[in-house]
Structure 1
Amino acid sequence: MTARSTRRTTAAHSRLAAVGALAVAGALMLTGCGDQTKDTKDTDKSSDNASSASAPLAGKLPASIRDKGVIRVGSDISYAPVEFKDASGKTSGIDPDLAEAMGKQLGVTFDFQNGTFDALLTGLRSNRYDMAMSAMTDNKNRQDGVDSTTGKKVGEGVDFVDYLQAGVSIYTRKGDTKGIASWSDLCGKKIAVERGTVSEDLAKAEAKKCPGGEKLTIQAFDDNQQAETRLRSGGADAVSADFPVAAYAVKTSGGGKDFQIVGDQVEAAPYGIAVAKDSTQLRDALKAAMDAIIKNGEYQKILAKWGAEDGAVKQSAVNGGK
């Protein structure tokens, strides 16, 4: 064999080896790519499953809210035990606890923003808030945007997701009822209420029934704490508020020595989470989340924590108020 043929044979062997090496490498690359694609899909699927498990109702939210991860909540945070600032300054109470439980279902946080009660629906209409949750009674006037005093339409109505039943109560200084045992006993007296509430509406309605010379004086304040301060100081004869609030004030104010409830609850009606009329997807997502926590028992535990079990509902409703 000549040196030239030896070189050619060697070269051929080298080329074959190179081709073989490339083939093996290509096979490995293809195998690697195939495994990588499979792993990526498996990882994505695992991530989706984990996300669904941690927030099973996230997909029901509008994309804009889901992407932000926050729902802005308008609330009058001065209405213990429904919502109030605790000793550390944290927003606490029935509504914040329910919202936190709902947030686990929806994969978002609820950002409670303080405002005066009578301005919450205005803030909702102007898109300052995504919803209002503030011991707000669901009724037809609010659904239709009608002023309860004048009967005139003042703006776009709202939809409600109802979640608790509560009536309205009257309370006085302990041992100093001034003879008040019902709404009809208020003529000739002074009652303190929070502005924009059903309590104020009831007081105005009662004032129209009073005979001449027995005027019912209504003192309306920005929040219920101010109304209670007026009662405590003797500047009012009674306060009216929702029963859970009245009961909490009687139990806690002055170690239980300041106030007492007089008479029975009246006007039992649902509390509702208010949303704009065109926010139907958000409304339905909130209803689904509320129903989920009712079903899993978190709802009942929260109401028991705050002594509001009597107002529990078995299922949420949309616009159930009358």
Structure 2
Amino acid sequence: MTARSTRRSFAAKSGQSRLAAIGAIAVAGSLLLSGCGDQTKEKAEDSGDSGRESAAAAPLADKLPKAVRDKGEIKVGSDIAYAPVEFKDDSGKTVGIDPDIAAAIGKQLGVDFVFENGTFDTLITGLRSKRYDLAMSAMTDTKDRQNGVDGDTGKKVGEGVDFVDYFNAGVSIYTPKGKTQNIKGWDDLCGKKIVVQRGTVSHDLAKAQAKECPSGKKLAIEPYDNDQQAQTRLRSGGADAGSSDFPVAAYAVKTSGGGKDFELVGDQVEAAPYGIAVAKGNDELRDAVQAGLDAIIKNGEYDKIIAKWGVEAGAVKEAVVNGGK
């Protein structure tokens, strides 16, 4: 279900070594994947409690822009189909790592974080048009995104965004279970077909690999609007492999078909930070979110959330702005 995969631009691998796996992440297996509608709007909640606290009870409320504080909510653009980062549970509630972290930050700031569903590759555009106040969707913090540069063409396409980094993850490849076809890494995909989510780092990696495949062994790439669609295609036998951020790939391997549909192959690559995206020039909101994240890291709420989802290996120790490369 941006690299949401770790979602970041990828330099041609020639002459470069790939990053090693960032560590095994035990992904919670008690929740089921489910689909989502394009118009979903839902307030982030933590353990059944509202993310919004009164201004008097919220220690960092005065850090928010007055207009946001008065409105009482922050609109968050997100592709809510990327378990376990953000997805719908059996009751239709938006759950996952991102909603839980957002709700905890919301308590510090005294506002609700309201998640609005959209396709991943339109989230930054939504920030520019002010449809969203933030984008939080396993989006990888990259210099290209910070500077508003298209990763494929190198051309300027917008003002860019700032990121408040809150998690680290790498990208993984998975195949139908028992049908790895000796795929152990990206070089082994030449002559095969891979499914990915459009606009993600997995998509970038696949395009970079396709350029390096020898004549007669073309890598076919099928991009989809969300990761669930890509998984469905692979599950039906329509491709040889899929790629997603490691937490997402591992969750799919553990839960799809009761663990009988897929298996991970090879190591993670391109470990990088996920960031909460804020439009350039919205410094007051960016700094308030950074302060809220730092607060929950220091008071232990962040670690509890990370442990709840079994992704401790990706935890950060402080809230960094624009730490991506």
TM-score (norm 1): 0.83
Q: Which amino acid aligns with 2:168?
A: Q
Pick from 228, 231, 234 the counterpart of residue 231 of structure 1: 234
1: CA distance, partners of 2:306 / 2:297:
11
Pick from 123, 136, 161 the counterpart of residue 120 of structure 1: 123
Deviation of residue 179 (structure 1)?
Answer: 1.3
Alignment of 1:203 onto 2:206:
yes
2: CA distance, partners of 1:80 / 1:178:
26
1: CA distance, partners of 2:200 / 2:146:
15
Q: How does 1:29-68 map to 2 (within 5 A)?
A: 54-68=57-71
2: CA distance, partners of 1:257 / 1:306:
21
Pick from 281, 294, 318 the counterpart of residue 315 of structure 1: 318
Alignment of 1:90 onto 2:84:
no
Q: Which amino acid aligns with 1:90?
A: K
| Secondary structure, counterpart of 2:75 in structure 1 | strand
Q: Which residue of 2 aligns with 1:298?
A: 301
Q: Which residue of 2 aligns with 1:178?
A: 181
Q: Which amino acid aligns with 2:230?
A: A
1: CA distance, partners of 2:264 / 2:310:
16
2: CA distance, partners of 1:54 / 1:295:
18
Q: Which residue of 1 aligns with 2:35?
A: none
Deviation of residue 53 (structure 1)?
Answer: 6.0
Aligned residue pair count: 273
Pick from 210, 215, 234 the counterpart of residue 212 of structure 1: 215
Pick from 185, 191, 202 the counterpart of residue 188 of structure 1: 191
Q: Tell me, which stretches of 5 or more residues in structure 1 are unaligned? A: 1-49
Larger Rg: 1
Q: Tell me, which stretches of 5 or more residues in structure 2 are unaligned? A: 1-52
1: CA distance, partners of 2:178 / 2:307:
29
1: CA distance, partners of 2:154 / 2:190:
24
Give per-residue Cα distances to partners, 1:122-165, cap 9 Å, x unaligned. Answer: 00000000000000000011001111111111111000000000
Alignment of 1:78 onto 2:81:
yes
2: CA distance, partners of 1:72 / 1:62:
14
Pick from 245, 264, 272 the counterpart of residue 269 of structure 1: 272
| Secondary structure, counterpart of 2:212 in structure 1 | coil
Bigger RCO (CA 8 Å, 6+ sep): 2
- Structure 1 stretches of 4+ moved >4 Å: 50-53
Deviation of residue 204 (structure 1)?
Answer: 0.4
TM-score (norm 2): 0.83
| Secondary structure, counterpart of 1:315 in structure 2 | coil
Q: Which residue of 2 aligns with 1:285?
A: 288
Pick from 147, 151, 166 the counterpart of residue 148 of structure 1: 151
2: CA distance, partners of 1:77 / 1:214:
35
Alignment of 1:165 onto 2:171:
no
Q: Which residue of 2 aligns with 1:101?
A: 104
